[in-house]
């Protein structure tokens, strides 16, 4: 049996590429392996950014393999347990303290949008992308957190428009409504994701993690609570080796080199 995804690490950036071209369906094995591997990846100080993509350039992912739902529910013991596993995996991506980047090209539907919604950066193809949560067309609703995360990404009106109408949008509209941060030719998006990952990996790791802790989920906190979170982040980062390196580099008029191994 082929691996559900291909995994590699280049320049402190881990890449998870769904191995099921052209459709790159998110199988039971894909979620099982992510749940098993992500804790180790997130705990590895040598991995400072993650990319979620799909093999080929046809489709990122047409979503969950619907034919596997009965098997998955039976194995998990209940629908709640089956979908709960998916919630846990996406929560690890969003709240694990490591920046995550998703590439959106071709079909990005159902789980193929819900996983990117748990990422911190999304890059879309300027041509050919079809992005949406089409569960209404199946008489159902998003089940991997799509209806919770999409409004936080694009606002209530755009989320309702996409979900209630089962509407698929292209990369240009996704960029216009703020769903993605960059819009590029499809041939360029994987290289751009790697470059962005390396840029993030070069930033001070503890400071990046602190900012993810402060900003991710800010919608559920008051301004005063977020200010308290920021104050804790300031205290935690005030005397780190990276903070000292940043100040010294500024004085010496050079680029800082963060995340140095202890001598």
Q: Which residues are annotated as catalytic? A: 114, 135
d(CA 53, CA 19): 10
**Tokens encoding 190:** 């994987």
Q: Which residues pair with 108 in a beta bridge?
A: 61, 131
d(CA 131, CA 78): 29
Whose tokens are 């500024």? That residue is 250
d(CA 147, CA 160): 9
Q: Give the relative orientation of helices 205-215 and 241-251 as an angle to the nearest 10 degrees.
A: 110
Is residue 109 classed as helix, strand or coil in its secondary structure?
A: strand
Q: Give the relative orientation of helices 28-43 and 79-95 as an angle to the nearest 10 degrees.
A: 30
Q: With beta carbons less than 8 A apart as the criterion, state whether 162 and 132 touch.
A: yes
**Tokens encoding 222:** 């008051």
């Amino acid at each position: 049996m082929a691996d559900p995804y291909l995994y590699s690490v280049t320049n402190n950036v881990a890449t998870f590429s769904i191995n099921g071209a052209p459709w790159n369906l998110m199988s039971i094995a894909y979620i099982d392996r992510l749940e098993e591997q992500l804790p180790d990846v997130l705990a590895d100080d040598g991995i400072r950014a993650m990319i979620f993509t799909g093999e080929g350039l046809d489709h990122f992912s047409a979503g969950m393999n619907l034919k596997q739902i009965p098997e998955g529910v039976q194995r998990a013991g209940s629908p709640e347990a089956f979908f709960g596993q998916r919630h846990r995996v996406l929560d690890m991506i969003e709240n694990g303290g490591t920046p995550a980047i998703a590439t959106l090209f071709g079909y990005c539907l159902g789980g193929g949008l819900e996983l990117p919604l748990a990422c911190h950066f999304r890059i879309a193809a300027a041509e050919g992308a079809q992005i949406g949560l089409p569960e209404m067309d199946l008489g159902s609703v998003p089940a991997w957190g799509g209806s919770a995360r999409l409004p936080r990404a694009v606002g209530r009106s755009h989320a309702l428009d996409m979900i209630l109408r089962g509407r698929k949008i292209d990369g240009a509209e996704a960029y216009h409504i703020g769903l993605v941060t960059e819009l590029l030719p499809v041939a360029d998006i994987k290289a751009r994701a790697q470059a962005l990952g390396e840029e993030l990996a070069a930033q001070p790791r503890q400071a990046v993690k602190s900012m993810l802790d402060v900003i991710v989920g800010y919608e559920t906190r008051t301004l005063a609570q977020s200010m308290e979170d920021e104050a804790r982040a300031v205290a935690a980062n005030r005397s780190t080796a990276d903070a000292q390196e940043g100040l010294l580099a500024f004085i010496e008029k050079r680029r800082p080199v963060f995340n140095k191994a202890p001598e």
